[in-house]
């Protein structure tokens, strides 16, 4: 092996070793996720991931997606030594998602969204993937009175 080639292999190897970060600890985390439907229940509206077993009139299938604003750059404090620019995303509000679904459903004459699914997904925009949120379900107009078991 020529000394010139060996030198560049050694530099490359040192670069790879030096750039690696060994993480040796993560702090304990407790993550709790939930959606509060009480605001809608007080107005007589039903959100449920379950089927509705009472009589109803079909209104439609709904889906709402929220894709947040995305900006490329540095944190608010500005560039710091050794820091690289990255993507920052505005927070997504579950309340905004549910309010949108509620507004559309009631506008169609529904008083419930059943088979509700709320899920995270990623939206691709110009080769970046933006963390997004989606809610979908079956909008119905309940008939009569239904007693839950």
Kindly list the structural domains of the chain, giving each domain's residue range(s) and its CATH number in brackets, ordered by start.
37-142 (3.30.110.70)
Averaged over 104-119, what is the pLDDT?
97
Q: Do 140 and 112 form a contact (C-beta atoms < 8 A)? A: yes
Output the pLDDT for position 83. 77
Q: What is the pLDDT of residue 34?
A: 85
Per mean pLDDT, which range of 73-77, 91-95, 143-147 is the poorest? 143-147
Which helix or strand (DSSP H or E) is residue 104 part of? Answer: helix 94-107
Question: First-to-last CA distance in the chain?
Answer: 80
Among 45-49, 73-77, 79-83, the range scoring the smallest mean pLDDT is: 79-83
Report the pLDDT value the prediction gives residue 149, as an integer from 0 to 100.
46
Token pair listed for 143: 């008939």
Alpha-carbon distance 41 to 112, whole Å? Answer: 10
Query: What confidence score (pLDDT) does residue 146 get?
Result: 60
Contact predicate 87/129, CB 8 Å: no
Cβ-Cβ contacts under 8 Å for 131 (sequence gap 6 or more): 68, 89, 92, 120, 122
pLDDT at 79 over 70: no
- Predicted pLDDT of residue 72: 86
- Integer Cα distance of 93 and 110 in angstroms: 23
Which structure tokens are listed for 111? Answer: 């008083």
Q: In sequence order, what are the beta bridge partners of 60? A: 139
């Amino acid at each position: 092996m020529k000394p010139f080639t060996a030198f560049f292999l050694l530099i490359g190897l040192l670069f790879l070793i030096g750039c690696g970060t060994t993480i040796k600890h993560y702090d304990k985390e407790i993550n709790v996720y939930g959606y509060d439907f009480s605001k809608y229940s007080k107005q007589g509206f039903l959100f449920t991931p379950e089927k509705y077993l009472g009589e109803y009139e079909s209104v439609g299938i709904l889906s709402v997606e929220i894709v947040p604003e995305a900006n490329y750059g540095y944190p608010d404090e500005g560039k710091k030594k050794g820091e690289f620019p990255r993507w920052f995303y505005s927070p997504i509000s579950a309340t905004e998602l549910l309010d949108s679904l509620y507004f559309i459903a009631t506008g169609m004459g529904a008083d419930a969204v059943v088979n509700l699914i709320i899920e995270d997904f990623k939206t691709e925009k110009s080769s970046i993937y933006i963390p997004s949120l989606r809610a979908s379900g079956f909008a119905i107009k309940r008939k009569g009175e239904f007693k839950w078991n």
